[in-house]
Amino acid sequence: MFWMVRAVGWENVPRRAWHIMKGRLGIDSSDRLVRELQQGHLASAFVPAYAPDEALQRWRERTEKFFTGPRQNEMLREELPRVVDPDLWDKQVTQLVNALPRGQMRLFHHHLATTGWPVNFQRDPLHDVQWPTGLSRRGYAQFDPRYKDLKCVWEASRFQVAFLLGREAVRHADSPAGDLFWDLLEEWDRQNPFGRTAQWVCGQEATFRLMSWLFAAGALVDAPGARADRYHRLTELAYLTGRLIEDNIVYARSQKNNHALSEAAGLWTLGLLFPELRRAAGWRAWGRRVICEEVERQIQPDGSYVQHSLNYHRVMLDDILWSMQLGQLHGDPLLEIWPRIGSALQWLLAMTSRETGRVPNYGANDGALILPLSTCDYVDFRPVAQAMNFALHGRRAFPPGPWDETMLWLCGAASLAVPTTIGGRNGARRAPNFEAADGGYYTTSGPRSWLFTRVHSYRDRPTQADMLHVDLWYDGENLLRDGGSYHYYCEPPWQHFFESTAGHNTVEVDRQDQMVRGPSFLWFRWTKAKLREYSFSLDGRAAFISGEHYGYRRLPGRVVHRRSILRVVDSYVVIDDLLGAGEHELVLRWRMADLDWKATQNTWQADIAGNPIELQLNVPAPFTTQLLRGVEGERPEGWESLYYAERTPVPTLVSQGVTSLPVRLVTLVSPVAERLVLLDSGDAAGKPLRLGGMADRALAEEVARLSAGCVRVD
């Protein structure tokens, strides 16, 4: 019970208790609203001056302070061909729009799934499972083995396809996108009476759906299919969405995650755009207050995010980018949150590959991209970074490219005229060494490479047992990588594998995770860690990071894992010291890029952009080392998940053995052209590791100084 309370946060216990009590007492306002709707009370949601037959005119006026509308569409139609090549647009937008009436829809921004036409919104197309209807909101369980993963039936109802349809309708005025949008919306409305399907369970899902509807509806307000009755019904659905969020947001805040920000953004949006709703002013004030409070609560001063996840960091930035820019159009740009959001942007830029826009696949990754406003791949984070950089600083972070499209939609054509922040050909230069001590994130960079690791004592709910994980990048290639998430709910062993210690580039002890798995998304006995050293040379040629975690102190012998990382230009030495007593089974894993790896004894070599990279292991004699790929069974090995609900085999170096502690494992990764030589691995009791192959005496002396005696260069 202590760890469950700790997981949700002591300050959130009253919110959780109130949520549970409401359910047991039957005072859920969404259930009450269902009864009101059955009695025909929906008209009372509007101000007296509102008339349904004026809905279309109200929407035309609404678009004057929105991202899409007749005025904006003319400008966008002119600018879009300059931002996105026609062939790329055809592949990433037009073809997906044309696939809809053939019964195919892209889900999780990657899977082209068969959803049927008309779409069956209660069917999970990835598992071919039909979800029940007619239950109250609390009757739908997220983890129900009969229906698999709730996210998979939610995905089509997020209506991310509406962003595709709106964009296509703006770029090609003769497109059938408008008719398709209204057909989809009317079918969804028919299948989903308020509060009686799985699609009305979650306030965050309803918010994302609302944002999609609004975007497309604004783009289509002057299209042939625009009718007052359609826009009036959409306004009613907006009101129902607000009532759902209103009832759910206290619970969302108790989770201390992006649900609270998303739902606050929903109230803020409704309050700004729908003055004809009686609750609008209250929703606007409520949404604004929660956004400001949750930004301060969820984003650390160094920019790191409460959910320990790169993808959830993007969800948070998308929520705030939408809210900030909408506020800007209405004369209320949320200026008080700009400093903290600026830190969050700098944090993201420090984690983003300049060559590809990719980031470490670190932390929970549920396939969310709530503002799919570009032709870039889901794993490319440049669209949100570029748009947010302009919104905050009036400049680009990256050179012009298709990632500018998000910025164009949300910030207007003026954004395309601004220069790129001074930097290299791929945009603003990466900081050689980036430290986010509040969140425990540390990076170091060479001319061609960069490395990321985590040293942190959890204060907020963790999602994966991944302390001291290392990501390593060369020339934009994620050479050593995280496994991702795959599914939030699936059958064993996959339910646990990707979030476990075995799913990360770190050391597993006695087949145990660094933390103890609890129910649902919870972990118990949160990992504590300590940063021992983070130093770097003034000329940027060398850096040293050392940290240790205490997650295995619960085991006999009180095991401590200490990881020290030395960078010399573009070469990396990773020293894993396992401290403690007794005999233990250890497993060191390196999940590697899917390249053609050639093995010679304890060395593996692959080619990146014409430059061979070498990985060398030095482990005790009892250890066996294998390069595994796509192993299934009770203990899977060699898998990653870049996109939600998809797993693919990747080569994984697995070195394991039973040995007495203390013991040291050493990994060298370097370009062959500047190969370092391991002369002596030393030992975990304090004898320094000896390196050779470094001709520069001054650099060698600097390495010895930085590593505080841990490494000696001969």
Which residues are CB-contacts of 388 (< 8 A; sequence separation ≥ 6)?
A: 317, 320, 321, 341, 345
**Residue whose entry in the numeric block shows the structure tokens 């990653």:** 640
Which residues are CB-contacts of 400 (< 8 A; sequence separation ≥ 6)?
A: 83, 416, 420
Range of the structural domain that residue 231 is part of: 2-298
pLDDT of residue 620: 93
Average pLDDT, the chain: 93
Domain shared by 294 and 438, yes or no: no
pLDDT of residue 321: 98
Is 707 domain-assigned? no
**Phi (first) and psi of residue 474, to 5 degrees:** -130, 125
pLDDT of residue 5: 75
Give the DSSP letter of residue 714. -
Query: How far is the CA of 271 from the CAs of 53, 121, 132, 284, in angstroms?
Result: 22, 28, 33, 4
Question: Is residue 673 within 8 Å of 517, Cβ to Cβ?
Answer: no
- Indicate the residue among 264, 298, 332 that finishes a domain: 298
Question: What CA–CA distance (Å, rounded) separates 704 from 82?
Answer: 52
Question: Is residue 506 within 8 Å of 586, Cβ to Cβ?
Answer: no
Query: How far is the CA of 287 from the CAs of 142, 222, 261, 293, 309, in angstroms?
Result: 26, 30, 9, 10, 24
Residue 45 has pLDDT above 80, yes or no: yes
- pLDDT band at residue 357, thresholds of 50, 70 and 90? very high
Return the CATH number at 518: 2.70.98.70
Question: Is residue 468 within 8 Å of 453, Cβ to Cβ?
Answer: yes
Average pLDDT over residues 315-326: 98
Question: What CA–CA distance (Å, rounded) separates 396 from 373?
Answer: 17
Lowest mean pLDDT among 13-17, 113-117, 423-427: 423-427
Question: Is residue 575 within 8 Å of 563, Cβ to Cβ?
Answer: yes
pLDDT of residue 305: 98
Is 363 domain-assigned? no
**Predicted confidence (pLDDT) per residue in 225-264, tens digit:** 999 999 999 999 999 999 999 999 998 998 889 999 999 9
Give the DSSP letter of residue 79. H
CA 663 to chain centre: 36
Q: Strands (DSSP E) along 345-431, which ranges?
A: none
3-state SS of the chain: helix, strand, coil percent to 5? Answer: 40, 20, 40
Lowest mean pLDDT among 112-126, 129-143, 372-386, 579-593: 129-143
Residue 35 has pLDDT above 80, yes or no: no
Question: Is residue 655 within 8 Å of 665, Cβ to Cβ?
Answer: yes
- Measured over the CA atoms of residue 304, residue 310, residue 311 and residue 317, the dihedral's sign is positive
Question: Is residue 559 within 8 Å of 578, Cβ to Cβ?
Answer: yes
Residue 128 has pLDDT above 90, yes or no: yes
Question: Is residue 487 within 8 Å of 149, Cβ to Cβ?
Answer: yes
pLDDT of residue 25: 64
Q: Which two tokens stand for residue 426?
A: 């791929």
Residue 419 has pLDDT above 90, yes or no: no
pLDDT of residue 23: 64
What's this model's pTM, rounded to 2 decimal places?
A: 0.95
**Predicted confidence (pLDDT) per residue in 520-576, tens digit:** 778 999 999 999 999 999 899 999 999 999 999 999 999 999 999 999 999 999 999
Percent of the chain with pLDDT over 70: 96
Q: Which two tokens stand for residue 193?
A: 């009476």
3-state SS assignment for residue 6: helix
Question: What CA–CA distance (Å, rounded) separates 369 from 583?
Answer: 46
Residue 30 has pLDDT above 70, yes or no: no
Give the DSSP letter of residue 651. -
Question: What CA–CA distance (Å, rounded) separates 508 from 485?
Answer: 18
Residue 169 has pLDDT above 70, yes or no: yes
pLDDT of residue 430: 77
pLDDT of residue 29: 62
Average pLDDT over residues 467-473: 98
Closest Cα to residue 472, out of 667, 672, 711?
667
Q: Which two tokens stand for residue 249?
A: 């947001």
3-state SS assignment for residue 500: coil
Lowest mean pLDDT among 51-55, 137-141, 481-485, 709-713: 137-141
Question: What CA–CA distance (Å, rounded) separates 385 from 415?
Answer: 13
Is 44 domain-assigned? yes
Residue 48 has pLDDT above 90, yes or no: yes
Angle of helix 228-254 relative to helix 29-38, nearest 10 degrees, comes to: 160
Q: Which two tokens stand for residue 120?
A: 């069956």
Is 603 domain-assigned? yes
Per DSSP, helices labelled H in 274-309 are 280-298
Closest Cα to residue 347, out of 479, 500, 454, 475?
454
pLDDT of residue 24: 66
Could you tell me which residues are beta bridge partners of residue 590?
653
Lowest mean pLDDT among 2-16, 394-408, 626-640: 2-16
pLDDT of residue 625: 97
Residue 407 has pLDDT above 90, yes or no: yes
**Predicted confidence (pLDDT) per residue in 489-521, tens digit:** 888 899 899 999 999 999 999 999 999 998 877
Q: What is the number of residues in the chain?
A: 714
Peptide bond into 662 cis (omega under 30): yes
Reported as type and span, the H/E element at residue 275 is none
Residue 342's CB is within 10 A of a number of other CB atoms, namely 15
Give the DSSP letter of residue 499. T
Domain shared by 476 and 625, yes or no: yes
Question: What CA–CA distance (Å, rounded) separates 312 from 319?
Answer: 10
pLDDT of residue 417: 93
Q: Which two tokens stand for residue 471?
A: 């990501």
Average pLDDT over residues 163-181: 97
Is 439 domain-assigned? yes
Question: What CA–CA distance (Å, rounded) separates 595 from 436?
Answer: 31
Residue 136 has pLDDT above 90, yes or no: no
3-state SS assignment for residue 590: strand
Question: What CA–CA distance (Å, rounded) separates 319 from 210?
Answer: 13
Question: What CA–CA distance (Å, rounded) separates 82 from 94?
Answer: 17
Q: Which two tokens stand for residue 481?
A: 């990588």
Angle at 365 between CA 155 and CA 238, to 5 degrees: 35
- DSSP line for 304-369: -BTT--HHHHHHHHHHHHHHHHHHHHTT---GGGHHHHHHHHHHHHHTS-TTT------S------
Question: What CA–CA distance (Å, rounded) separates 180 from 187?
Answer: 11
What are the contacts of 581-584 at 24+ separation with CB within 8 A?
A: 581/557, 581/661, 582/556, 582/557, 582/660, 582/661, 583/658, 583/659, 583/660, 583/661, 584/509, 584/510, 584/555, 584/557, 584/559, 584/658, 584/659, 584/660, 584/661
**Predicted confidence (pLDDT) per residue in 79-123, tens digit:** 999 999 999 999 999 999 999 999 999 999 999 999 999 999 999
- Indicate the residue among 298, 331, 351 that finishes a domain: 298
Residue 398 has pLDDT above 80, yes or no: yes
Question: What CA–CA distance (Å, rounded) separates 82 from 88?
Answer: 12
Residue 173's CB is within 10 A of a number of other CB atoms, namely 12
Is 464 domain-assigned? yes
Return the CATH number at 46: 1.50.10
Residue 144 has pLDDT above 90, yes or no: no
Which residues are CB-contacts of 697 (< 8 A; sequence separation ≥ 6)?
A: none
- pLDDT band at residue 654, thresholds of 50, 70 and 90? very high
Give the DSSP letter of residue 277. B
Is 693 domain-assigned? no
pLDDT of residue 426: 64
Average pLDDT over residues 583-600: 97
pLDDT of residue 632: 95
Is 396 domain-assigned? no
- Indicate the residue among 252, 273, 298 that finishes a domain: 298
Angle of helix 161-171 relative to helix 70-83, nearest 10 degrees, comes to: 90
Domains identified in the chain, total number: 2
